[in-house]
Chain A
Amino acid sequence: MKNKYLFILLAAIFAFGCTKPDDILGDFQVHISPTFYKYVVEVEVLDLNDPEAALPNDLTIVVTGADSLAIYNIDGSKNFAVNFGTLQLMVAREMEPTPGSPLNFAIEFSANNYERSIIPIRVQEEDYFLSEQAELLNLGNLPTGISNNTATGSIAAGTSALTNAISFTAGSADSTTSTDIFLPAGVTFLDENGNAIVAKRNANGNVNISVLSFSDTTRAAQAAMPLGSGMIQPVEDGTVDTILLQFSPNFSLNIDVDGIPVATLGGGKTAAGATGRVYLRSGLNNYETGAPFAAGDVLSMLWFDTRSRRWVRPNALNFTVAALPNGKLFIDFPITQAKGRFRLYYRLGYVPPVVAVRLGAFLVKSDGSPEPSGSFTSNMTFTFNRAVPFFGGVNRHYIRLGGRFTGNPLRGAWRSFRVNRVWWSNVTVSNTPSDRATYNISVEESQLGVTKRFFAKFQPKATPVSIGYRLFCEGSNTLVDPPAGVKMYYREAGSGGPYSMFYTFTQANSGIRLTSFPQLKNNVRYDFRARFNDVEKDTANVLVVDRSVYDVTLPSGACNSLGL
């Protein structure tokens, strides 16, 4: 009897020891962080006049520059594409920036009947997420503040010289920029290789001239400045400096012969007769004196060199301001460059005093105390305001800043530039409606040495809800960390309203398991939307409960695109 008990005991020992292997791995997940890349650069692409307008179907995106080989579309291909209004790029792992060796490249957007837009990018070490904006100027749908004037001429068949002189006036609606263009008969048109463009043997050549006139007083005209950086522009004037340009007449000249772009003018002495006249609006201040321009003042001209991507002087000339009998001020200048952007600038030799400025943003807790661990992604616009007696009372410079920010204003995205003098009366910041609903946002001004700093302080209006997530690939036990560049959107369930972006996964935050979301309220149901490359995943009617962790199943297409 005793032995029977022992046999039963031993049998039980073996039975208990044999758990099914499936049970062992039942809750076990393989975690994959598809960190095929760490660095993400995204560019929101918009129609400058209508952000809701569809982008052109023939939009072409080219990445150029010294480090362009390192740049791929977010899906790892070289097929650069805008999805959901955003171009997302990644840096190949083996070509990442290192200390002292940032990556420099440029993104060029072009489409028929659109101004070509070039966005230069510099990726420094640990700049894991950069956010820029490209506002494309549709020449067929110009915003207020930008005007297009055109004129035509002809070249006799088989020849290259302009048959009859062309003279016309171009100007912005508010006359901030007003220009006369004169091309004498006999001038020839040279392409970018310096060769004269010859009309076809059997037909006259059509010369098309267009002048875009920009009014710096408008946000649209500032947004249409080269490089997508508004009035912050690199200027080569002895040295290269990034400065906040002052308001000035400026225009863009484009000439083509039968569609062939003209780079310069030829024709010997005749070409020297090609001139432009730029009028100075009454009350426009002389940058040097601070007083309104007067006859006898001296100015020069800048031209934007698309190769060096800087404003340079097209010639070493100063132009003296003259006055018409009616008192209207102007300068005359020779047209040496037949293509590109021009604007008036200080006289040659004048060195303005400069002030260094740095813009940034940072996060604090809802009670205003420092937030050392939080982060957020945002786009904002700083406005430098100055009360002036002309142009309707206030001059405004709009400066965009986007990217990832933390509790430390010196760690997030920033802009640094110089201005010729402290001329603004105050600096404000504007944000997306979602950000405004979530945060109290103010600008904090401080001085560090010679640098004036303006940091936007983001203070959550309520104690943030913290929630976590677990992403699974459909039909598998693989737990996936969201790849950098995944963007999350939300809206209150049942509202039917538009989704608002509230989070972007970056290399810096992809390993965080529980994240604070000031946009969300505890015990409220939301619809969520995740976007990555061309994949969109909606998860509806999710009850948000503080400190909860939610499982989200990724569609197999998304996992496949990640190589999983």
Chain B
Amino acid sequence: MKKLAYSLLLTGLGFSTVLAQESSDSTATAIEAKADKYPMWQNRSAIGISAGLPGFGLDYAYNINRSLNVRVGFLAFSFSDYNTDLEISGQSVNVNANLNSTVFDLMLEYQPSSNHAFKLVAGLSYLNNVGVNTLILLNDDIGYGDLIIDNEEIGDIDVTLDYTGIAPYLGFGFGRAVPKKRAGFSIELGAYYAGGPDVTIKASGMLENTSEEEQQLEDNLDSYSWIPRAMMRLTIKL
């Protein structure tokens, strides 16, 4: 069962079967060697709250054996109506940004050594509308001869970058999913592989044809396949 779980996880992340086999064998040896130093490992669980990128979250962790924990949880973050003025090509524009992030995680944490808090984390997540929406509008009206063209008549550009779907995750950190004591603290750094974002451009008025650039921007962002994750987590053992 243990080997199967490792194999599925690592195959999903693009590792070779050979590497997966080597990893699981080594892990088994390590667990046996350190068994007596972590006697209370069995069937313990914990809840945790976390904060960082990409949001704030709640999770539940379960201690499968002395080296392996499973964790489910979600992260969410929303930031609306961030307004700023920028100068673009000599024109003053207002930028209104909205950030959204909702992530559902199913993670496996592997601790190579029960003497150290270092861990490797892998899993699958469902990203739900993780991205940013930006509305760009000219601040001033434009003069054309004796005519004044209202800035709203000129139009706006509404760009949305959105990651939605299942994304494998890989990371590392320090601290146990289920703490040894009543409470614990951990940090974690990793990245989701989400593929490039979906890009939606809605432009209006005289800028309407900018929406034709949707595919171009999507192609340009294709290499932004990885979404970083940097979290701090407080846990309480149940």
| A interface, CB within 8 angstroms of B | 2-3, 6-7, 9-10, 13-14, 16-17, 19, 23-36, 72-73, 75-78, 92-93, 476, 478-479, 481, 511, 562-563
Contact = CB atoms under 8 A, between A and B. Distances in A.
Nearest to B223: A19
Interface in B10-34: 22-23, 26
Interface in B184-209: 189-191, 193, 203, 206-209
B89 A478 contact: yes
A30 B157 contact: yes
Nearest to A19: B223
Contacts of B153: 93
Contacts of B212: 31
A306 to B, nearest CB: 28
B199 to A, nearest CB: 10
Q: Interface SS of chain B: helix, strand, loop or mixed?
A: mixed
Given A16-B223, A33-B208, A27 B143 contact: no
A478 B138 CA distance: 15
17 contacts: A7-B172, A10-B191, A14-B226, A14-B228, A24-B221, A27-B220, A30-B207, A31-B208, A31-B209, A32-B206, A33-B209, A36-B144, A72-B145, A75-B144, A77-B146, A78-B146, A511-B209
Contact of A2 (B22, B216, B217): B22
A9 B226 CA distance: 13
Given A13-B226, A24-B217, 18 more contacts: A6-B172, A10-B170, A10-B190, A13-B170, A13-B191, A16-B223, A19-B224, A23-B220, A28-B217, A28-B220, A29-B213, A31-B207, A31-B212, A34-B144, A75-B145, A76-B145, A93-B153, A476-B89
Contacts of A25: 220
A36 B219 CA distance: 32
Nearest to B190: A10
User: Which of A76, A77, A476: most chain B Cβ within 10 A?
Assistant: A76
Contacts of B26: 2
A13 B144 CA distance: 50
Contact of B225 (A10, A16, A73): A16
B43 interface: no
A149 to B, nearest CB: 45
A311 to B, nearest CB: 36
User: Which of A14, A16, A29, A31: most chain B Cβ within 10 A?
Assistant: A31
A72 B146 contact: yes
Nearest to A479: B209
Given A31-B212, A511-B209, A36 B170 contact: no
A16 B146 contact: no
- Top 9 A-B residue pairs of the complex, sorted by shortest distance between their CB atoms: A76-B145, A31-B209, A17-B226, A77-B145, A76-B144, A563-B142, A31-B210, A36-B144, A13-B191
Contacts of B217: 24, 28
A563 B89 contact: no
Interface string B101-128: 0000000000010000010100000000
B220 A562 contact: no
B147 interface: yes
A72 B225 CA distance: 52
B86 interface: no
A473 to B, nearest CB: 8
A476 to B, nearest CB: 5
Contacts of B118: 3
B23 A2 contact: yes
B30 to A, nearest CB: 11
Given A13-B226, A35-B206, A28 B216 contact: yes
B191 A14 contact: yes
Contacts of A17: 191, 223-228
Contacts of A562: 144
B149 interface: yes
Nearest to A473: B89
Given A14-B226, A27-B216, A34 B206 contact: yes
Contact of A76 (B146, B213, B224, B225): B146
B55 interface: no
A32 B91 CA distance: 14
A67 to B, nearest CB: 16
B220 A92 contact: no
A33 B206 contact: yes
Contacts of A479: 209
A16 B220 contact: no
Contacts of A28: 213, 216-217, 220
A419 to B, nearest CB: 43
B52 interface: no
Contacts of B221: 19, 24
Contacts of A10: 170-172, 189-191
A481 B147 contact: no
Contacts of B146: 72, 76-78
A31 B145 CA distance: 21
A524 B224 CA distance: 43
Contacts of A19: 220-221, 223-224
